[in-house]
Structures are given as structure tokens and as C-alpha cells.
């Protein structure tokens, strides 16, 4: 049996299941509510997390442009493990190499970029130069199962947190790769039709009608935030 991490999805939502908190404004009370996410992340205690390119560039790299280091040779499409022994890892799925990096460290965690084999040699050369690890998960598109298998085999990751957005969460759910779901429901409503929800799966890609969950725990925490914890059971 191929080993992969235990995958926990942690999301913070409005009561109507919307997740894009920047649309909720800069109100002091809203900011206080949003702080619940990091607090619960710390309570859960797992430090290894994965996000998609959109979340990473919006919240962490702040739309930095890719950096290229010209090389006069072809770089083989082999996984590059710069630091297997880091205390924790920040993993980002960036199949087409659109993120810009100037460091291999993200909030004290070692970065692992998930790429496809179609990326440029000059992009890989820069990542190697700054010591940022990368793995390949497909030729032109990424295979989520391959990602998880490599994270365990190459970096020893046993537990991984998925933290949005909706498309990434939906992709993992669609492949049956989420083991536990934690939702923080903030006491506010969004109401926008266009705001992203927790899980979003294109109908053409859908592999099931619904996912069954088992409720493990319900807590009311600070500021009237409700914390729901579920075990993912099966698809129907």
C-alpha cells in the first residue's frame, strides 16, 4: 500500500459557507473573528500545509513575478529535495510556475513547489540556487495522488493541512483525498452570489453526487465562533 499523509482540511467561513474574507472589509470586529483561524491551526498542532497558487500569491508572495536564471544545459525533470529535515513545510501547487520566489523560507517553514514537467529550465535553476525544494506531479497537469505520495516518500510528511481555496479543496475532495474536515463558522453572513464556497468542483469533473461526513466534535470558541470537526466517510 502506497503511503500518503493524513489530510485535514481547515476552513474559516461565513454562516452561508463563503470563504473570501477580504470581501468582509476592514472592520475591527471582522478582523478579530478572522484571527480564530490561526488560533485553531495552532490548537490542531500540525505545521505542514498546502495551498494553491492563487492563495499563495494573494496571501503570501504578494504577486511577485517569477525569477529566471539562464542556464546553458537542460535540467532533468527529477524532484529536487533541498531540505528533508525541516521542522515544517509549506507546500504550494503551481503547475505552470507562475509564482515568484526570492527565498526558500515561508513564515519559518521550508517551501516545496509542486510543478509540472512543462516548466522552464531557467525557473528550476533559480529554485535550485535559492534552495527551494520542488517536486513534479505530471507532464502538463498535476496529479494530487502523486503529490501526496511524494510528500511522504521524499519529506516524511505524515499529516498535511489543506487551507483553500475552494477549487483546491474541491479537487482533493473529488479524488477522495481528504480524511478530516474542520470548519470555523464565523457569526457573519456574506450573501454574495459570486463569493467562493468551501468546496468547488466543476460538474464535468465530478466523480460522485455527495460526500458523507461523520460529526466528531462541536465547540463554541471565542467571539461566538463555532468549530465543527468531521471525519470524511465516503462518496455517494
Kindly state whether residues 91 and 1 are assigned to the same domain. no
Let me know whether 106 and 120 are in one domain. yes
Residue 113 domain boundaries: 49-156
pLDDT tens-digit map of 69-87: 999 999 999 999 999 999 9
Asked if 186 and 36 count as a contact pair (C-beta separation under 8 A), the reply is: yes
16 Cβ contact partners less than 8 Å away, ≥ 6 residues apart: 189, 190, 191
The whole-chain average pLDDT of the chain stands at 95
* In a shared domain, residues 55 and 149: yes
Confidence check: pLDDT of 190 > 90: yes
Same domain, 132 and 190: no
Is pLDDT at 202 greater than 80 in this prediction? yes
Measured from the Cβ of residue 188, the count of other Cβ atoms closer than 10 Å reads 19
pLDDT tens for residues 6-45?
999 999 999 999 997 788 888 899 999 999 999 999 999 9
Across the range 121-139, mean pLDDT stands at 98
**Residue 63 pLDDT:** 96
- Residues 34 and 90: their CA atoms lie apart, in Å, by 21
Please say if the pLDDT value at position 227 is more than 90: yes
For residue 50, count CB atoms less than 10 angstroms from its CB and return exposed for 0-12, middle for 13-18, buried for 19 or more. buried
| DSSP-assigned beta bridge partners for residue 80 | 134
Place of cell 470524511: 232
Q: Are residues 55 and 40 in the same domain?
A: no
Q: How many CA atoms lie within 13 A of 223 on its CB side?
A: 16
Name the domain boundary from 97, 131, 156: 156
Q: Are residues 118 and 30 in the same domain?
A: no
Confidence category of residue 1, pLDDT binned at 50, 70, 90: low
Closest C-alpha to 32, from 226, 223, 224: 223
- The pLDDT value recorded for residue 21 is 76
The whole-model pTM stands at: 0.93
Average pLDDT over residues 153-182: 96
What is the pLDDT at residue 225?
97
Chain position carrying cell 466543476? 202
Residue 109: per-residue pLDDT: 96
If you average pLDDT over residues 125-152, what whole number do you get? Answer: 98
Q: How high is the pLDDT of residue 172?
A: 97
Percent of the chain surpassing pLDDT 90: 91
Amino acid at each position: 500500500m502506497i503511503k500518503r499523509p493524513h489530510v485535514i482540511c481547515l476552513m474559516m467561513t461565513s454562516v452561508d459557507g463563503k470563504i473570501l474574507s477580504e470581501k468582509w472589509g476592514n472592520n475591527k470586529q471582522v478582523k478579530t473573528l478572522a484571527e480564530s483561524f490561526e488560533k485553531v491551526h495552532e490548537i490542531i498542532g500540525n505545521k505542514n500545509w498546502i495551498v494553491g497558487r492563487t492563495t499563495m500569491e494573494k496571501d503570501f508572495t504578494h504577486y511577485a513575478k517569477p525569477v529566471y536564471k539562464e542556464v546553458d544545459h537542460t535540467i532533468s525533470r527529477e524532484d529536487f529535495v533541498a531540505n528533508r529535515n525541516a521542522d515544517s513545510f509549506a507546500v504550494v501547487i503551481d503547475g505552470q510556475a507562475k509564482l515568484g520566489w526570492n527565498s526558500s523560507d515561508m513564515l519559518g517553514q521550508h517551501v516545496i513547489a509542486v510543478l509540472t514537467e512543462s516548466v522552464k529550465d531557467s525557473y528550476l535553476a533559480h529554485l535550485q540556487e535559492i534552495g527551494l525544494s520542488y517536486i513534479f506531479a505530471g507532464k502538463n497537469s498535476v496529479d494530487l495522488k502523486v503529490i501526496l505520495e511524494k510528500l511522504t516518500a521524499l519529506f516524511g510528511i505524515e499529516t498535511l493541512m489543506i487551507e483553500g481555496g475552494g477549487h483546491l479543496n474541491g479537487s482533493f475532495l473529488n479524488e477522495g483525498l481528504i480524511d478530516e474536515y474542520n470548519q470555523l463558522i464565523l457569526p457573519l453572513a456574506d450573501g454574495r452570489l459570486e463569493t467562493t464556497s468551501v468546496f468547488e468542483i466543476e460538474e464535468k469533473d465530478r466523480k460522485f453526487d455527495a460526500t458523507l461526513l461523520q460529526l466528531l466534535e462541536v465547540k463554541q470558541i471565542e467571539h461566538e465562533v463555532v468549530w465543527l470537526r468531521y471525519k470524511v466517510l465516503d462518496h455517494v
